[in-house]
């Protein structure tokens, strides 16, 4: 897999991990992270905008309780497919400003002023080599209808599988992340994949924990060229099972 493709795939994985509660201090992927990619190549990407609808569930007293939150991330690269990020000026989604953090990534984390995804309209003011960008994404959000059935327990020795099949809709691809204690593994498959499986080898470096996380994140992709530079706009829905018991 090319480095530039890995960079954008990791950005997606990181967005799934950050907004499902994993440790934000881990800003490089573990070398042992595994992935299976039926993906486009992103060698031409000068930037990416990700609107993220999160649905987290945990089981308490036999009842599955969902918690929903909408957020967003964005990033700009100095050249097509580069792995470092640059300042792109002010970035907003539906007229709500994202915050630029130390590595020049942009995030929306204002829990007191949540995003409404009835529309998805991005604006970037531009700065330096980054042009002004305006894009309304009309594809809607993908869905996974079996989030309530995600396993509450995972054995590293046995591995596990998740049925996707006709449970995924409006998605180009699906990323599945399993993690605990700042260690994770992920795989990416096409949106029409029937099943995704993690072997014991895939889970080698995922830590044993009673507070693990398992997320299934279908997403779709739209692109737009501005000043001969291509930018990708991603709608992603992150379904997360909290407090997964990960055993040896």
Question: What local confidence, expressed as pLDDT, does residue 12 receive?
Answer: 52
Please answer whether residues 186 and 175 qualify as being in contact, where contact means their C-beta atoms are separated by less than 8 angstroms.
yes
Question: What local confidence, expressed as pLDDT, does residue 51 receive?
Answer: 94
Q: Report the SS3 class of residue 216.
A: strand
Please answer whether residues 6 and 31 qualify as being in contact, where contact means their C-beta atoms are separated by less than 8 angstroms.
no
Of residues 194, 171, 175, 172, the one with CA closest to residue 185 = 175
For 37, 91, 177, 203, 207, the CA distances from 154, given in Å and listed in that order, are 23, 39, 13, 10, 11
Question: What local confidence, expressed as pLDDT, does residue 33 receive?
Answer: 33
DSSP per position, 47-74: EEEEEEEEEEEEEETTEEEEEEEEEEEE
Question: What local confidence, expressed as pLDDT, does residue 40 receive?
Answer: 41
Element (H, E) at 7: helix 3-18
Q: What is the widest separation between alpha-carbon atoms in the chain?
A: 55
Question: What local confidence, expressed as pLDDT, does residue 57 receive?
Answer: 79
Question: What local confidence, expressed as pLDDT, does residue 117 receive?
Answer: 96
Low pLDDT (below 50) residues in the chain: 1-10, 14, 16-41
């Amino acid at each position: 897999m090319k480095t530039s493709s890995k960079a954008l795939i990791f950005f997606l994985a990181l967005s799934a991990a950050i907004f499902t509660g994993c440790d934000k201090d881990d800003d490089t992927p573990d070398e042992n992270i595994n992935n299976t990619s039926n993906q486009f190549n992103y060698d031409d990407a000068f930037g990416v905008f990700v609107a993220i609808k999160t649905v987290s569930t945990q089981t308490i007293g036999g009842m599955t309780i969902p918690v929903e939150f909408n957020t967003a991330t964005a990033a700009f690269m100095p050249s097509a497919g580069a792995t470092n990020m640059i300042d792109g000026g002010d970035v907003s989604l539906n007229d709500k400003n994202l915050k630029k953090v130390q590595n020049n990534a942009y995030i929306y984390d204002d829990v007191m002023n949540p995003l409404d995804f009835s529309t998805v309209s991005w604006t970037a003011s531009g700065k330096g080599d980054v042009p002004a960008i305006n894009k309304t994404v009309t594809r809607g959000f993908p869905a996974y209808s079996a989030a309530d059935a995600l396993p509450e327990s995972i054995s590293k020795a046995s591995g596990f599988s998740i049925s996707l099949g006709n449970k995924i809709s409006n998605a180009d691809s699906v990323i599945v992340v399993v993690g605990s204690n700042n260690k994770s593994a992920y795989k990416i498959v096409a949106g029409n994949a029937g099943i995704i499986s993690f072997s014991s080898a895939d889970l080698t470096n995922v830590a044993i924990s009673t507070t693990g996380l398992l997320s299934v994140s279908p997403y779709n992709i739209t692109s737009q060229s501005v000043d001969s530079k291509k930018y990708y706009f991603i709608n992603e829905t992150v379904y997360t099972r909290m407090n997964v018991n990960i055993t040896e």
